[in-house]
A = this chain, B = another copy of it.
């Protein structure tokens, strides 16, 4: 995290992890795929309320490259594309739950005085 540990910030595994899940729509996407296992593009979009095509398709493309998400395309008319989490993506969930548990504890104390 600092110069004694890593030459560059991007080398820190924690910072790196946050780049994978930290942007605005990553968690909602991961969460929807975790709960539903497999979703088509427009199903996923319905689960992630408020996201635009622009951002969803871009996020999915990145997450596929990063090994978080699997994309399966079926050559049919009309087109069918299904998304699901990779094994690595699923292995992320326990860490998220740990963080969520901490966050839940914080909500009570922080909400009132911020």
Contacts and interface: CB of A to CB of B under 8 A. Distances in A.
Interface stretch (A14-22, A52-60, A76-84): A14-22
Nearest to A105: B88
A43 interface: no
A37 interface: no
Contacts of A1: 27-28, 31-32
A72 interface: no
Interface of A: 1-3, 9, 12-18, 20-22, 27-28, 31-32, 47-49, 65-67, 88, 91-92, 94-96, 98-107, 109-110, 113-114
B27 A15 contact: yes
A49 B3 contact: yes
A83 B47 CA distance: 42
Nearest to A11: B107
A20 B98 contact: no
Contact of A9 (B3, B20, B28): B28
Given A1-B28, A28-B9, A65-B114, A92 B102 contact: yes
A17 B104 CA distance: 8
